[in-house]
Amino acid sequence: GDSVTQMEGPVTLSEEAFLTINCTYTATGYPSLFWYVQYPGEGLQLLLKATKADDKGSNKGFEATYRKETTSFHLEKGSVQVSDSAVYFCAFANSGYALNFGKGTSLLVTP
């Protein structure tokens, strides 16, 4: 069935390190892909999205490219900050607009 697999955390990085969070999906058709972020004590907010193959979503220094051939949407950032500490969720939407979420990856950035 439809599912999202993302790398397990927690991930701990030093400030200014490079970040990659892997995400792959199993879905029928051509879903739209999303990364959501949840800061401590808050709800989820959209970080970036891509709606078709080879699209690159970007926001706040984060990037992810929709790779249809590998069914992947890996999240990257060149230099993380302490303020990026949060839980990151990969998700896709097919029909009906409901999202299928991965289990989330907790990121802790230390000074």
Partner 1 sequence: DVKVTQSSRYLVKRTGEKVFLECVQDMDHENMFWYRQDPGLGLRLIYFSYDVKMKEKGDIPEGYSVSREKKERFSLILESASTNQTSMYLCASIQAQGYNEQFFGPGTRLTVL
60: left (phi over 0), alpha (psi -120 to 50) or beta: left
Smallest gap from Cβ 16 to partner 1, in A, equals 29
- Establish if 53 lies at the interface with partner 1 (CB under 8 A): no
- Which residue number, 96 or 111, has a Cβ lying nearer to partner 1? 96
Smallest gap from Cβ 83 to partner 1, in A, equals 19
Smallest gap from Cβ 38 to partner 1, in A, equals 8
Site for partner 1 in 61-90 (CB under 8 A): 89
Which residues have C-beta within 8 Å of that of residue 105, sequence separation ≥ 6? 6, 7, 8, 9, 10, 11, 21, 87, 88, 89
- Judged by the rule CB under 8 A, the positions of this chain that interact with partner 1 are 4, 32, 34, 36, 41-46, 49, 51, 89, 93, 96-99, 101-104
